Structure 1
Amino acid sequence: MRWKALPAALLLLTAACTPDRPPAAAPGTPAGSPTGSASLTPVADCGTHDLGHRSELPPASLSCLLDAVDQHRPAVLRATRLTIEGDPIRFTYTVRQDGQVEVLTDTREDAFGYRGVMRELCTGPAAGPPVLDFARCSSPTPVR
């Protein structure tokens, strides 16, 4: 009879000895970004949008991102646009706690252009083509 209680006791002991791990970063999130394991602040999800050939984000998503920048709160917005030929170009906008926006542009599925992921750090976001416009951005650097 005592052996039946042993697995439950081991489970409790194991749970008590397991170190707490911070949540893993979201898939496709580069290390060091606000959604990485070092961040303890919740990240606002401003939406994921397939815009096709349109260049406008829904106003609520745009407000979510711009408010996060103004308040220096982490947030993520994802948008996909299509090239003229119909290939998807994926943008991921990640607001950092310092108010800068990390922009990842994924063109790996573009059959007629550069294929890769580029990263920029930007400031001063506003609505504009293709999805957002920025007052200033760093030079694009390859991620993968």
Structure 2
Amino acid sequence: MRWKALPAVLLLLSAAACTPDRTTAGAPATPAGSRAGSPSPTAGATPTADCGTHDLGHRSELPPASLSCLLDAVRGRRPAVLRVTRLTIEGDPIRFTYTVQQDGQVEVLTDTREDAFGRRGIMRELCTGPAAGPPALEFAQCSTPTPVR
């Protein structure tokens, strides 16, 4: 199996224990020109499950409930989102957004714009076959990463 969505530098992280931060830091902002509270163009569609927003620092594992939430959504082909922030060895945040699509694929966005020593940008992959594995998620297959911005 192939590890995806975790840059090699993150695999070198120590397993420092941190308490997950359930804040929305790093969550996407409301797009310019849209009004907060305006009806969604997909109103009436299946609501997206929130599997959590976690600032893991150098901690190596996601909470089991968040992993179960995402994996259950994939099996049920229900929309869900999980946001995870991890730190590089130098302490720069790398943000991951895992979005389960209704066809069971998982869109993985990796945001490295705040990594002072790495390649900065946002990359997108479509992945299948997610499984819980150390340190977080592993996928059976992912598309070639493509830049978002």
Q: Which bin holds the TM-score, normalised by the shorter protein?
A: 0.7 to 0.9
Higher helix share: 1
Q: 2:104 aligns with which of 85, 99, 108?
A: 99
Report the TM-score, using the length of structure 1 for normalisation.
0.73
Q: Give the CA deviation at 1:130.
A: 4.7
Unpaired runs of at least 5, structure 1:
1-25, 30-35
Once residues 58 and 112 of structure 2 are traced to their aligned partners in structure 1, the CA distance between those partners, rounded to angstroms, is 15
Residues 1-144 of structure 1 mapped to structure 2, 5 A cutoff: 27=29, 37-38=41-42, 40-144=45-149
Q: How many residues align?
A: 113
Q: Give the CA deviation at 1:41.
A: 1.2
Superposed CA offset, 1:67-95 (max 9, x none): 00000000000000000000000000000
Tell me the amino acid that sits aligned with residue 120 of structure 1. E
Distance 1:130 1:142, change over 3 A: farther
Once residues 37 and 55 of structure 1 are traced to their aligned partners in structure 2, the CA distance between those partners, rounded to angstroms, is 37
The 3-state SS of whatever aligns with 1:68 is helix
The 3-state SS of whatever aligns with 2:116 is coil
Report the TM-score, using the length of structure 2 for normalisation.
0.71
Once residues 118 and 148 of structure 2 are traced to their aligned partners in structure 1, the CA distance between those partners, rounded to angstroms, is 17
The 3-state SS of whatever aligns with 1:79 is strand
Q: Give the CA deviation at 1:132.
A: 1.2
Identity %, equivalent residues: 81
Once residues 93 and 41 of structure 2 are traced to their aligned partners in structure 1, the CA distance between those partners, rounded to angstroms, is 29
Superposed CA offset, 1:112-139 (max 9, x none): 0010000000001112345311000000
Across the aligned residues of Structure 1 and Structure 2, the Cα RMSD in angstroms comes to: 1.8
